[in-house]
Amino acid sequence: MTMHRRTLLQTGLALGSLSALAGCATLTSKAPAKAQVVVIGGGYGGATAAKYVRMLSNYQISVVLIEPNTTFISCPMSNLVLGGSKNMAQITTPYDGLRRQHGVTLVHDRVASIDTQKKTVSLPNGTTIGYDKLVVSPGVDMHFDSIEGLQAANASGQILQAWKAGAETTALRKQLEAMPDGGVYAITVPEAPYKCPPGPYERASQVAHYFKQAKPKSKVLILDANPDVTSKPALFKKYWSDNYKDIVEFRPNHKVMAVDAKNSSILFDVQPNVRADVLNVLPAMRAGAIAQQTGLATVNNRWCGINYQTFESLVAKDVHVLGDATLAAPAMPKSGHMANSHAKVAAAAVVAQLSDLAVNPTPFLTNTCYSYVSDKQVIHVASVHQYITEEKTFKTVPGSGGLSAEANEREGTYAWNWAQNIWADMLL
């Protein structure tokens, strides 16, 4: 450490605070010209990290982003495609902006393995790419084996998750359209933690909104392994009873054990079987396979333990893990906004460490989760999280954050603008 080390970022960054970052970028003149950061995964965490390492290093550090998909399709807002008020094109953004505007090298492939000793990642064709720092943001994988029969039912296309936006989102919408009026759509919710706490309830609301317009005799069943709605419970339940009274039914403490695709049924550990016309079964989730196979998923081979100040893995030096794949700190949701916020703190730490600058000792994270309960009405929950040095974790700042008083259309506008802004913040 030199006498002149400076902190790269003194505070967390609000979404879209590009002018603040432009100032910070000038602090990084010590970044070694040949340093290379490799990022695995171009989702909310990885794409943001790729862009911000470039910006915060004043474009001196090379960044290679490895992501199999050629366009980014957003999970946030994908429930609106199921509800019918948006289409896939409206939630899709090309990755090109990262290359053209930020000089990120894009490799459209899936990383097959990581060698944390040699500091290389390998692609399926045997190509290896070296790194000084590696950012791993692979999101979650569905734990299909936790529910008997689910893998086969998914492979045949009969029981879908659509928990990664894309082909399954379109296929699930088609199943809903094909369902006769008077039919039943059932969504199951796994025990927390899982990707996007309010996501299943937003989806149930979107399907109910669609049924109310197009198939009013139909039902939405929410079969939840948890004892209650896990996010914004009072707001969701009030909206359902005021607007979807004869459509939505919420059943807590329903843990799925197996699916019977032939009879279109779900089997639970205690409760009676449920038959439905469209089954949307969400199994337990865990850090993406690449994190598991590299030994980064230190907690029950499920979530990746990290140093919360820098997001560096607890078991692999110079490997930083972000987003849904991480073991969450208290009250930290697995959300796109949170992954974007992780990425900025991690990018700042990576650039600081490669530039011989001090790492920010007390970073902040922010989160807002908007949920559409109809095509226009929205509810939100927000929080601010600060790193507590003595406890080596993030905790919510007392008095910060908040909750909608009730569903309203103004927040519908805010929510769609939030999406436009975060996509631009990650990708443009």
Ligand X SMILES: Cc1cc2nc3c(=O)[nH]c(=O)nc-3n(C[C@H](O)[C@H](O)[C@H](O)COP(=O)(O)OP(=O)(O)OC[C@H]3O[C@@H](n4cnc5c(N)ncnc54)[C@H](O)[C@@H]3O)c2cc1C
Query: Can you tell me the distance from the alpha carbon of 258 to that of 255, in angstroms, rounded to the nearest whole number?
Result: 10
- Residue 423 found at the interface with ligand X (CB under 6 A): no
Alpha carbon distances (Å) from 114 to 106, 136, 301, 316: 18, 10, 17, 11
DSSP H or E run through 222: strand 219-224
Cite the beta strand spans of 17-81 per DSSP E: 36-40, 62-66, 71-73
- Residue 12 found at the interface with ligand X (CB under 6 A): no
Least Å from the CB of residue 332 to ligand X: 11
- Residue 76 found at the interface with ligand X (CB under 6 A): yes
Which residue in 12, 83, 139, 190 binds ligand X (CB under 6 A)? 139
Judge residue 328's burial from the number of C-beta atoms within 10 Å of its C-beta, 0-12 exposed, 13-18 middle, 19 or more buried: middle
What is the largest distance, in Å, between two alpha-carbon atoms of the chain?
73
Residue 265 tokens read as: 């049924």
Least Å from the CB of residue 41 to ligand X: 3
Least Å from the CB of residue 367 to ligand X: 7
- Residue 67 found at the interface with ligand X (CB under 6 A): yes
Helix (DSSP H) and strand (DSSP E) numbers for the chain: 11, 25
Query: Can you tell me the distance from the alpha carbon of 163 to that of 165, in angstroms, rounded to the nearest whole number?
Result: 6
Binding piece for ligand X, criterion CB under 6 A, among 12-20, 136-144, 182-190, 258-266: 136-144
Residue number with CB closer to ligand X (70 or 362): 70
Radius of gyration for the chain, computed over Cα atoms and rounded to the nearest angstrom: 22
- Residue 323 found at the interface with ligand X (CB under 6 A): yes
- Residue 40 found at the interface with ligand X (CB under 6 A): yes
Residue 273 tokens read as: 């079987």
- Residue 290 found at the interface with ligand X (CB under 6 A): yes
- Residue 336 found at the interface with ligand X (CB under 6 A): yes
Residue 244 tokens read as: 């979807």
Residue number with CB closer to ligand X (244 or 416): 416
Nearest residue to ligand X, by Cβ distance, number only = 43
Residue number with CB closer to ligand X (12 or 45): 45
CA angle 177, 380, 279 (to 5 degrees): 30
Site for ligand X in 203-232 (CB under 6 A): 203
Query: Can you tell me the distance from the alpha carbon of 37 to that of 57, in angstroms, rounded to the nearest whole number?
Result: 11
Query: Can you tell me the distance from the alpha carbon of 305 to that of 259, in angstroms, rounded to the nearest whole number?
Result: 32
CA angle 251, 199, 208 (to 5 degrees): 60
- Residue 41 found at the interface with ligand X (CB under 6 A): yes
Which residue in 54, 86, 195, 302 binds ligand X (CB under 6 A)? 195
Site for ligand X in 163-192 (CB under 6 A): 163
Least Å from the CB of residue 345 to ligand X: 14
Residue number with CB closer to ligand X (28 or 209): 209
Residue number with CB closer to ligand X (28 or 326): 326
- Residue 79 found at the interface with ligand X (CB under 6 A): yes
Q: Which residues bind ligand X (CB under 6 A)?
A: 40-46, 66-69, 75-76, 78-79, 110-111, 137-139, 163, 195-196, 199, 203, 288, 290, 323-325, 334-337, 339, 369-370
